Amino acid sequence: MVSACMRTRRYRSRAVCCWTKVLRGVRMLRSAPLKMAAPALVSNRGMSRYSVPPIFLSHGSPMTALEPREAGAFMQRLGPAIEAAFGRPKAVLAVSAHTLARAPVLLAGARHEAVYDFGGFDERLYTLRYDAPGAPALAGRVQALLQQAGLPVHTVDQGGLDHGIWTPLRYLWPQADVPVLPLAFVPDWQPQPLFDMGAALAALADEGVLVMGSGSITHNLQRVFAGGLRDVGRAATPESLAFREWFAERGAAADWAALLDYRHQAPHAVLMHPTDEHLLPFYVAAGAAGPRPALRLHASHTHGDLGMDAYAFGPQALRLRDALAG
């Protein structure tokens, strides 16, 4: 079953939500028969000669879809910058903290729609749509790459985009015209095997596929909801800031020994990630570029503790940063 339910009674507030639950569109995944998609290569036609770098985005609260703030403004510029530097991606392989399973699963439906995997927020959120094409042909290619690396992977012909996917994509490509392939990951895997899973997907960059991890660079909902939902513009807490700066510094230095062991080495690691499913997509995206520097493209926060930082990985990360600055 695809699920990311981390709901606990400790997090109850007027906005009662762990910002995720079982995805309605794929909740029958456990009993659905597994379907092996036919292998197919993705055309690189229309892309530049530069490989598109994998990225990691912090998607924040569901309210990011209505209140873009600094991170939303960044994501609005990110889509055009990617196209200017690399051409429009043939597809997005999306790895989100809200699409989880007992083994890696590709959601290879022909069409996707937004899944409202939250509750207690502004009712306007439930009117937002993101009806995007799926990428069933790409699923065969991804499945083959993962199997070649000895990783278990299943494919189902179901669709659905959790808010960790559709929220950023509504800013990157608001017309919902770039195909999307969600890849569910196992939330109790350690960073190293998820980095290795990303490494198995490295060839996709040259094929015009954007590997996008979506989660949160810091994510402690108990602190956010303590005494009621904090003001979205509250100053960054010292603990959140220290953790985020450590990550940016270690990333710039390509210190993967430290980053992969962040839970023991990063300041306030357990406080900023009581459970680390929201950070794990970072490692999948990073692995797709190999043990190279992780370049922070954006830094901001909401609610004091929720970092909204974004990263790009690999040799073309600097090109993307330059496109954003241009």
Is the separation of the CB atoms in 212 and 91 below 8 Å? no
pTM of the model: 0.87
Six token digits for residue 292: 């190279």
Three-state DSSP at 217 gives coil
Q: Give the CA count within 13 Å in the CB-facing half-sphere of 9.
A: 0
Is the separation of the CB atoms in 79 and 235 below 8 Å? no
Model confidence pLDDT, tens digit, residues 50-90: 799 999 999 998 999 999 999 999 999 999 999 999 999 99
Predicted local confidence at residue 227, as pLDDT: 53
Neighbours of 126 (CB within 10 A): 12
Closest CA to 152 of 200, 96, 119, 115: 200
Mean pLDDT of 277-289: 98
Model confidence pLDDT, tens digit, residues 204-250: 999 999 999 999 999 998 887 775 566 788 888 999 999 999 999 99
